[in-house]
Amino acid sequence: MSTALIVVIAVVVILLLVLLALSMSRKRARAQRQGRVEARARGAEAERRHDRADELEAEAQRFAREAEQRAQAAEAERSAADSHAARAREVDPDS
C-alpha cells in the first residue's frame, strides 16, 4: 500500500511539474507575442514620425524658397527705386 501511495504521489508531483512547465511556456509565448506587437507598434509610430518629419522638412524648404523669392523681389524693387532716385537727381538736381 505504501508503494502505491508513493507512486501516486510521484505521478501527481510529475503532473504538477508538467502543468507548471506548460503554464510558464504559455506565459513566455504570450509575453513574446506581446513584445512583438509592441515592437510593431513602436515601428509604426517611428514610421509616422519619420513621415511627419519629412513633411515638415518639405514645408520648411518651400517656405525657404518663398522667402528667397520675396528677398529677390525686394532687392529688385530696391534696385529699381535706387535707379529711379538717381535718375530723378540727374533730371532735377535741386530736389
∠ CA 69-72-74, rounded to 5°: 110
85 — pLDDT class (breaks 50, 70, 90): confident
Which amino acid, one-letter code, is at 43? Answer: G
22 — pLDDT class (breaks 50, 70, 90): very high
CA 33 vs CA 4, 17, 76: distances in Å? 43, 24, 64
Q: How far apart are CA 18 and CA 23, in angstroms?
A: 8
Q: How far apart are CA 43 and CA 53, in angstroms?
A: 15
Q: What is the mean pLDDT of residues 15-44?
A: 96
